[in-house]
């Protein structure tokens, strides 16, 4: 009997015990009707070949292990970045359960959102009644300052019109007439979560800005961070830099406090976020900067429409990307970049110089959201690494073109390949046929790590199986220092593991590296 009260074995060791191994082997033999072992191992080997890769990349319809989610997830994340805002997703209720779970599993935090709980009758007659009742219930139960409405694909397929539905709900006194209910249509069959983010932020800005007089405040800057699983660490780090510079700025959408509430006995359903007054005033800013170009195309277009200057970045991570961001901020705000920040920069470069021999020539596969992949490829090249495979399932042709231009600008990007629209099963073939030293992505990459042996570095949403990484910044020089250390740790740990067998590799297991 493997179990004892003294040493309780849970699943990880328990099923390795002989009783269970025997039981599972017999189950397989007697009851599972498996394919013969040889056929399985032949097929496994075949999946590692160029021939399989070609078939795999030729896929036109099937998607396997994509690295993207659907629009409303982005909308719910976006709404969480505004003061006391409840997400109300119009459509089937199961979707909302999924968004909440997904966000909670990554942030290890509560994630509140409600659904209009449409069922079959609503599919036939439309979901107006659900909207009218739902807004009234949400308003009364959860005491929000704003309700941000988005849609599931069900509501989109049947063509529910949010604008008129919300108007109707107000006519029926579901919420007060002057209560803010911005909305965005977020069909799951168009784009991905980054577009849902874009649509929701644009919807909120339009709600507050439309028809308002704009009086430009020189030097004032709006910052839109984009969908970012590291918002907790990143936004705070960026604010620190901007404060050091003395810039007048407003974050439009900031979920850093919402997804990092303290444990002190009180459950805060809402915390932090951009104040509604600030959103209104943000119309007057001289410029709006997007930290993630591919996350905010529509929103930035709207900012231009109202007369603001705009500029966009690709996730300001690493040396030159941070330089560019700070210089743009300096140019608009008229504030100088202080000496303290120059010293920070110097310390990062110092660290990179200290470690360059371990990083030079290392090959990487990088996947994730478009701007993140762009940023990471750029930083990897700054360290002398080669971003061999750059993949974004939700990458567009414009993303591909922009990234290719970046890669062509450095000798370290010459051999790089860009894979827009491909999934992680495609990446599996790429890793087998053109291997790399390191894989950068999120938790889903662990299956690639297991199959191909490529060490995985988790630096992007969602991270389910490691804790608290998102609480630390990747942005700015400080963030880059953390990314650098994370990469180095992975390299050193691997080297130590590979040289740790006494009597075999006593050499190379060096005390100083």
Partner 1 sequence: MSREYENDGALHAKLIEEVLSHYPDKAAKRRKKHLNVAKSGNEAGGESEVLSECDVKSNIKSIPGVMTIRGCAYAGSKGVVWGPVKDMVHISHGPVGCGQYSWSQRRNYYVGTTGVDTFGTMQFTSDFQEKDIVFGGDKKLEQIIDEIEVLFPLNNGITVQSECPIGLIGDDTEAVSRKKTKEYDKTIVPVRCEGFRGVSQSLGHHIANDAIRDWVFDKKDVKFEAGPYDVNVIGDYNIGGDAWASRILLEEIGLRVVGNWSGDATLAEIERAPKAKLNLIHCYRSMNYICRHMEEKYGVAWMEYNFFGPSQIEASLRNIAKHFGPEIEEKTEKVIAKYRPLVDAVIAKYLSRLEGNTVMLYVGGLRPRHVVTAYEDLGMVIVGTGYEFAHSDDYQRTGHYVKNGTLIYDDVTGYELEKFIEGIRPNLVGSGIKEKYPVQKMGIPFRQMHSWDYSGPYHGYDGFAIFARDVDLAINNPVWDLFHAPWKRSRGDERAMAAE
**Interface residues for partner 1 in 245-264 (CB under 8 A)?**
261, 263-264
Judged by beta carbon, residue 240 or residue 471, the one nearer partner 1 is 471
Among 82, 84, 85, 99, binds partner 1 (CB under 8 A): 99
In whole angstroms, how close is the CB of 255 to partner 1 at the nearest point? 15
State the catalytic residue, choosing from 70, 149, 153, 175: 153
H/E segment holding residue 393? none
State the catalytic residue, choosing from 63, 157, 190, 349: 157
CA pair distance 202, 188, nearest whole angstrom: 17
In whole angstroms, how close is the CB of 345 to partner 1 at the nearest point? 36
- Round the CA-based radius of gyration of the chain to a whole number and report it: 25
In whole angstroms, how close is the CB of 354 to partner 1 at the nearest point? 37
Judged by beta carbon, residue 117 or residue 248, the one nearer partner 1 is 117
In whole angstroms, how close is the CB of 160 to partner 1 at the nearest point? 12
Assess whether 95 carries a catalytic annotation. Answer: no
Judged by beta carbon, residue 15 or residue 492, the one nearer partner 1 is 15
CA pair distance 285, 278, nearest whole angstrom: 11
* Total residues interacting with partner 1, rule: CB under 8 A: 107
Among 50, 125, 137, 398, binds partner 1 (CB under 8 A): 137
Q: Does 101 bind partner 1 (CB under 8 A)?
A: yes
In whole angstroms, how close is the CB of 28 to partner 1 at the nearest point? 7
Peptide bond into 462 cis (omega under 30): yes
Judged by beta carbon, residue 119 or residue 500, the one nearer partner 1 is 119
Long-range contacts of 318-324, Cβ-Cβ distance < 8 Å, separation of 24 or more: 318/375, 318/378, 318/379, 318/382, 318/480, 318/483, 319/345, 319/348, 319/349, 319/352, 319/379, 319/382, 319/477, 319/480, 320/378, 320/382, 321/375, 321/378, 321/379, 322/475, 322/476, 322/477, 322/480
Assess whether 157 carries a catalytic annotation. Answer: yes
Nearest 5°: the CA angle 347, 348, 351 is 85
Q: Does 430 bind partner 1 (CB under 8 A)?
A: no
In whole angstroms, how close is the CB of 491 to partner 1 at the nearest point? 27
DSSP secondary structure of 172-228: TTSS-TTSB--B----TTSS-HHHHHHHHHHHHHHHHHTT-----EEEEEEEE--S-
- 118 CB-near residues (< 8 Å, 6+ apart): 90, 91, 92, 93, 127, 130, 154, 155
Site for partner 1 in 181-220 (CB under 8 A): 187-190, 192
Among 358, 447, 472, 509, binds partner 1 (CB under 8 A): 447
Site for partner 1 in 144-173 (CB under 8 A): 152-154, 157-158
Among 85, 92, 388, 478, binds partner 1 (CB under 8 A): 92
Judged by beta carbon, residue 431 or residue 484, the one nearer partner 1 is 431
Q: Does 353 bind partner 1 (CB under 8 A)?
A: no
In whole angstroms, how close is the CB of 191 to partner 1 at the nearest point? 9
- 37 CB-near residues (< 8 Å, 6+ apart): none
CA pair distance 195, 26, nearest whole angstrom: 50
In whole angstroms, how close is the CB of 16 to partner 1 at the nearest point? 11
Judged by beta carbon, residue 35 or residue 347, the one nearer partner 1 is 35
Site for partner 1 in 25-84 (CB under 8 A): 27-28, 31-35, 39-40, 43-44, 47, 52, 55-56, 59-66, 68-70, 72-73
In the block, tokens 């959860």 appear at 142
Q: Does 452 bind partner 1 (CB under 8 A)?
A: no
Q: Does 428 bind partner 1 (CB under 8 A)?
A: yes
- Whether 169 and 370 have beta carbons less than 8 Å apart is answered as no
H/E segment holding residue 390? strand 386-392
CA pair distance 242, 53, nearest whole angstrom: 47
Q: Is 260 helix (H, G, I), strand (E, B) or coil?
A: coil
Among 85, 130, 235, 388, binds partner 1 (CB under 8 A): 130
Catalytic residues: 153, 157
């Amino acid at each position: 009997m493997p179990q004892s009260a003294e040493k309780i074995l849970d699943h990880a060791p328990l099923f390795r015990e002989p009783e269970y191994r025997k039981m599972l082997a017999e189950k397989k033999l007697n009851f599972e009707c498996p394919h013969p072992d040889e056929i399985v191992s032949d097929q496994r080997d075949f999946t590692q070949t160029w021939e399989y890769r070609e078939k795999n990349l030729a896929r036109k319809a099937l998607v396997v292990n994509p690295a993207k989610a659907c629009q409303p997830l982005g909308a719910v994340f976006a709404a969480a970045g505004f003061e006391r805002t409840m997400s109300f997703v119009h459509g089937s209720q199961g979707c909302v359960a999924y968004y909440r779970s997904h966000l909670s599993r990554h942030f290890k935090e509560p994630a509140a959102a409600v659904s209009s709980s449409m069922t079959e009758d609503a599919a036939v007659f439309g979901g107006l009644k659900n909207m009218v009742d739902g807004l009234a219930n949400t308003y009364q139960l959860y005491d929000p300052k704003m309700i941000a409405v988005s849609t599931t694909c069900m509501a989109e397929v049947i063509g529910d019109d949010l604008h008129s539905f919300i108007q109707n709900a107000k006519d029926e006194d579901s919420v007060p007439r002057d209560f803010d209910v911005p909305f965005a249509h977020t069909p799951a069959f168009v784009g991905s979560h980054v577009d849902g983010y874009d649509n929701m932020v644009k919807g909120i800005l339009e709600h507050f800005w439309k028809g308002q007089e704009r009086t430009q405040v020189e030097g004032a800057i709006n910052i839109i961070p984009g969908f970012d699983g590291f918002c907790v660490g990143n936004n705070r780090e960026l604010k620190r830099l901007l404060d050091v510079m003395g810039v007048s700025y407003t974050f439009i959408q900031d979920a850093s406090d919402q997804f990092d509430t303290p444990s002190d006995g009180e459950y805060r359903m809402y915390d932090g976020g951009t104040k509604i007054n600030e959103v209104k005033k943000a119309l007057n800013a001289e410029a709006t900067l997007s930290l993630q170009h591919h996350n905010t195309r529509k929103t930035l277009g709207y900012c231009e429409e109202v007369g603001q200057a705009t500029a966009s970045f690709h996730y300001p991570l690493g040396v030159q990307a941070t330089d560019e961001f700070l210089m743009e901020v300096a140019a608009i705000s008229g504030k100088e970049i202080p000496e303290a920040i120059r010293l920070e920069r110097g310390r990062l470069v110092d660290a990179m110089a200290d470690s360059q021999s371990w990083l030079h020539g290392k090959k990487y596969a990088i996947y994730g959201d478009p701007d993140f992949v762009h940023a990471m490829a750029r930083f990897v090249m700054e360290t002398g690494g080669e971003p061999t495979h750059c993949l974004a399932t939700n990458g567009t042709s414009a993303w591909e073109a922009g990234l290719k231009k970046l890669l062509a600008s450095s000798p370290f990007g010459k051999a790089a390949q860009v894979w827009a629209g491909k999934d992680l099963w495609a990446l599996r073939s790429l890793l087998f046929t053109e291997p790399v030293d390191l894989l950068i992505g999120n938790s889903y990459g662990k299956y690639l790590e297991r199959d191909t042996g490529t060490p995985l570095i988790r630096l992007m949403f969602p991270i389910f199986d490691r804790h608290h990484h998102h609480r630390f910044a990747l942005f700015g020089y400080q963030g880059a220092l953390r990314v650098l250390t994370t990469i180095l740790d992975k390299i050193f740990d691997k080297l130590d593991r590979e040289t740790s067998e006494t009597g075999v590799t006593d050499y190379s297991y060096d005390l100083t590296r």
